[in-house]
Amino acid sequence: MTDPAAAPAPLRVLLVDTDERVRESLAGLLRIGHRCLVVGSAGTVDDAIRLARDSVPDVVVVDPRLPGAEPATAFIARLREVAPAARILVLIWSDMADKASGADAYVRKTFRSHELIEAVVTTSGRSVA
């Protein structure tokens, strides 16, 4: 029998997207397999910064087209200031998207559910059962 206390804690994930329905869908997908725990959901830059500081996420999943997040490099730099240990995973629409935002990783927004989970886990750099 496996000792539940010995199992690694789930990854703490903060979701940042202007569309609440997208955030809800992402949260639902990330619950699959219990490897991730969504610790916050933000639809504005100010909420994202506050939640990144307060929720201590392992990974922040970001749509860089968030109003007020231009340029994306500045927004990601602010996230890193308030949550220096967090890794940043950016959702992109195409493989040709500008990947110069300073994020740790990128995943196409047309992902399959297992691809999102694997991208979050890989981006975290942690081993999660």
Chain segment 43-81, per-residue pLDDT in tens = 999 999 999 999 999 999 998 888 887 788 899 999 999
Residue 112 falls inside a structural domain: yes
Backbone angles phi, psi at 70, to 5 degrees: -95, 135
pLDDT for the residue numbered 126: 82
Residue 41 falls inside a structural domain: yes
How many folded domains does the chain comprise? 1
Does the pLDDT of residue 2 top 60, yes or no?
A: no
Residue 40 falls inside a structural domain: yes
Q: Which two tokens stand for residue 121?
A: 């886990």
Does the pLDDT of residue 1 top 70, yes or no?
A: no
What's 80's domain CATH number?
3.40.50.2300
CB 45 within 8 Å of CB 66? yes
Q: Note down the domain range covering 95.
A: 26-124
| pTM for the full predicted model | 0.89
Residue 63 falls inside a structural domain: yes
